[in-house]
A and B are shown apart, each in its own frame.
Chain A
């Protein structure tokens, strides 16, 4: 093993060619590409400057990167890190340090060994990208970046100075494909140990959140312009119709004149009276860095793993930072909290001390005119319908005080949060307890896989109103203004609505063409499966998988042995395919016949010298014994073609050669 080091000590001048340095720098670019999204911006200029310096120093002698310049760069890097992160040690700081070490390594690389370590570092850094995102795109990127690094690693071990690009690319691809079965075996059978072994504070987590925990005008409309998936729902039986698909996330009950807050100090758990059939469903939730879990109106109760709040919201104990799957029940027909305690009553009638006087008077007058709560609500709906209200994603920004007044009586442009907020205000002003509920409404059915996709633009705000004897009732003012949005969802419904401002959501109405729609559905179905099988493969899923395979009862030693056995089996198959099959030896019979031929010549004093090839031997004989030249040449040429030729030697050819040698007779020289 000691002498194998000598094999690594290649000609180091190779590192000085422009091509090889360009290749290494582009590899660095590929590996560090995703870093742009989530690490401080000064990293890229730093890395680029180092690469440029390295390139410029190409012409200089070997160890140009002197101690002083290296030290200065390291010092600069440390100062930048301290400036950015202070002394807190978290994931981002660690990664920044690693990336700087990575680029410094290339800067001071002048031996092959340095480049090899640089390549191992790049493998590691490719993996660290998964600390931020783990979707299909990051997987594809990982495959590409690993492939690129492997190509350079192979090139490091070839003799030729020029990069045989295509050959290395093909070889790297072949090797990665051959490695895939082992990866699959180990991925599914390797035990999922409970992590974390230690933890690193995740201070600068990428805000992948959907709904935030306060509501003010503009929040939801901003969300509605993104199309990323919030969660997917699979119904066990029939799919619930769109007007009933309200998923509750947050309840806001405190208004300060501008923003709605959560201030739920409700006394006790409300009672839920179920009326009507139960709906069973399963949610596959994408990570959003908060704890809420979307639940369909209205969940009766939850298992111990989750919390059910006093406002009947479901939440998890830990932050949802990776895809999670949960099953829930819902009763679309219900009576929630038929009796409201006095303190709760006052709580849900809260209004700011002053402001929006016109709205308050309007509410009081209308309530008095209507006579009952139900009629009041109906009248309010009429008010919205009959006046020129517009439902738009980008209404005029309302600043200052009396925002409700401005919205209701002058601007009359808003998105769901405006309507919900104003409606709740009016309810409370009329003495009816009400609260704003924020969540998701609608969603799109994926016909390929029979599940519902709910995206960020399905985020919605509506109102819950408490009526004596009937409990909390869902009231959606958007249904008054833009009913198509509720009936048909954001995508298809809004285009038909006369109140709806088309220009705004034109970009969301893409995909009306059938094949684009189909492609979108296909991709989303694939994404859902990806979440389930690859990202969601944790200890619990692994246990189920083992049960299905019948491995559940066996201990881990047996599973380890199975893993080992299958790996060895694959290795043996590949060994056979790669090594043995391709290196067919020439048949021994051919060599025997040739040997016989040489013996015949040896008997007359013309033995073949050990080092002589057949053609050289024939030439030598032809020189000294021209009378044998023709025959000897023929035999030797034929032998050479068979022995060193490309094609496999056929049986016929063997027979022929055997005959020729047999017939070859030499008369003794006189």
Chain B
């Protein structure tokens, strides 16, 4: 994306009451002619020369009509962007080096056609905005590093209806996406389990095979484990708990790896976490600065990956 003089001036923090939402107005939208517009202007000049040469009054009429159409085109193209309301959608975590989706939700009181959204050099997404409806735009972005990723500038542009002018605007949303480290295949599939009786004893099993009892529903609990019958009988919302009596606990440990580069270690740990979750195993994560206790399930996976992502990262 061009980051020249004009663009830089227009990078603005979204202002207003919502930090993650804004509406496009006079201060943000720029209009410039496109190459097609310049070509058409050249055609108009040719027509003017022909009219002057042959003294064609109707030729003048047509030339000036097309010129007027060009001027009107500026307005209509500008209008296609003006007043667009944007806000950030639900952000999903991503993996470093892989394209992920940055969702934006747009709406307007008019119908808009052929708006395109683009982040740096990634693919452009073009949508139509329907009147009074919220449309979700999935803009592909590419986070390079793990940690907090701020997508930064998004370019919103349109050339509708005539293609002679391009109205565009750069929006910088104040939001972050958490980016997990890129999973790297480690040598052994998973480290062998360690025997740790003490930990096994006060092991609060949340996952496993045997039904252990009911517990009050907490945010993050898988809906698959909810005791629906009890809820239907209006006894409240409870989660079924299962236990696997294991003698050994699986620990994914920083010290187990011997790579010098911490990024590689983090990558391998990430791969292990994913594999363990896929196999529905219970595991814990040990990092130099924190220990995550045994657990399993999607939320535990998220917790571990977040810890890996933010390992040794400065706070945003």
Contact = CB atoms under 8 A, between A and B. Distances in A.
A117 B107 CA distance: 34
Contacts of B219: 624
A43 interface: no
Interface of B: 1-2, 16-20, 23, 32-36, 39-40, 43, 46-47, 49-69, 71-76, 78-79, 82-83, 87-91, 103, 105, 107-110, 113-114, 116, 118, 124, 126-128, 132, 134, 155, 157-163, 166, 168, 175, 219
Chief secondary structure at chain A's binding surface: helix
Nearest to B20: A610
The 7 closest A-B pairs by CB, nearest first: A179-B68, A583-B83, A182-B68, A4-B166, A186-B64, A183-B64, A610-B20
Contacts of B116: 6-7
A561 interface: no
A273 interface: no
B308 to A, nearest CB: 23
A42 interface: no
Contacts of A142: 58, 61-62
A158 to B, nearest CB: 5
Contact of B61 (A158, A187, A193, A574): A187
Contact of A2 (B2, B72, B110): B2
Interface in A314-341: 322
Contact of A127 (B50, B76, B155): B50
A195 B61 contact: no
A120 interface: yes
24 contacts: A4-B35, A4-B166, A5-B35, A127-B47, A127-B59, A134-B57, A142-B58, A153-B162, A159-B127, A175-B69, A175-B76, A176-B65, A178-B72, A183-B65, A186-B64, A195-B54, A534-B57, A537-B57, A579-B75, A579-B82, A610-B175, A611-B105, A624-B219, A646-B109
Contacts of A8: 34, 36, 159, 163
Interface in A572-593: 574-575, 578-580, 582-585, 588, 591-592
Given A182-B64, A183-B61, A591-B18, 9 more contacts: A1-B35, A150-B69, A153-B163, A178-B75, A179-B67, A183-B68, A192-B55, A579-B78, A611-B20
A70 B219 CA distance: 69
Nearest to B73: A175
B52 A588 contact: no
A594 to B, nearest CB: 8
Contact of B52 (A3, A171, A193): A193
A622 to B, nearest CB: 13
A268 interface: no
A183 B62 CA distance: 8
A614 B58 CA distance: 58
A65 interface: no
Interface in A206-241: none
Contacts of A160: 128
B129 to A, nearest CB: 11
A611 B88 contact: yes
A157 interface: yes
Contacts of A64: none
A131 interface: yes
A574 B72 contact: yes
A511 interface: no
A3 B1 contact: yes
Contacts of B132: 644-646
A515 interface: no
Interface string A119-157: 010011011101100100011001000100010011011
Name the residue in B20, B23, B68, B134 with the highest tally of chain A Cβ atoms < 10 Å from its Cβ.
B68
A569 to B, nearest CB: 12
Given A182-B68, A183-B61, A154 B134 contact: no
A335 to B, nearest CB: 41
A607 interface: no
A507 interface: no
Contact of A159 (B23, B72, B114): B114
Contact of B163 (A157, A180, A198, A578): A157
A374 to B, nearest CB: 51
Contacts of B59: 127, 130
B271 to A, nearest CB: 29
B71 to A, nearest CB: 6
Q: Most A CB atoms within 10 A — which of B67, B69, B155?
A: B69
Contact of A197 (B52, B89, B105, B162): B52
Nearest to B173: A610
B46 A124 contact: yes
Contacts of A595: 17
A362 interface: no
B166 A195 contact: no
Contacts of A612: 90
A227 to B, nearest CB: 23
Contacts of A157: 113-114, 159-163
Contacts of A447: none
A611 B65 contact: no
B71 A579 contact: no
A199 B20 CA distance: 64
Contact of B75 (A5, A196, A567, A578): A578
B114 to A, nearest CB: 5
Nearest to B36: A116
Contacts of A538: 55, 57
B1 to A, nearest CB: 7
A58 interface: no
A571 interface: yes
A186 to B, nearest CB: 4
A571 B116 CA distance: 26
Contact of A120 (B19, B43, B88): B43
Nearest to A610: B20
B71 A179 contact: yes
Given A3-B155, A644-B132, A646-B132, A146 B65 contact: yes
A181 interface: yes
A160 B51 CA distance: 37
Contacts of B64: 182-183, 186-187, 190
A469 interface: no
A121 B90 CA distance: 48
Contacts of A117: 39
Contacts of A187: 60-61, 64
Given A182-B71, A197-B49, A120 B39 contact: yes
Contacts of A178: 68, 72, 75
Interface string A158-194: 1110000000000100011011111100110010110
Given A7-B124, A124-B46, A583-B82, A182 B58 contact: no
A535 interface: yes
Contacts of A646: 109, 132
Contacts of B36: 8, 116
A613 interface: yes
A571 B71 contact: yes
Given A126-B62, A153-B163, A610-B175, A585 B83 contact: yes
Nearest to B35: A5
A526 to B, nearest CB: 15
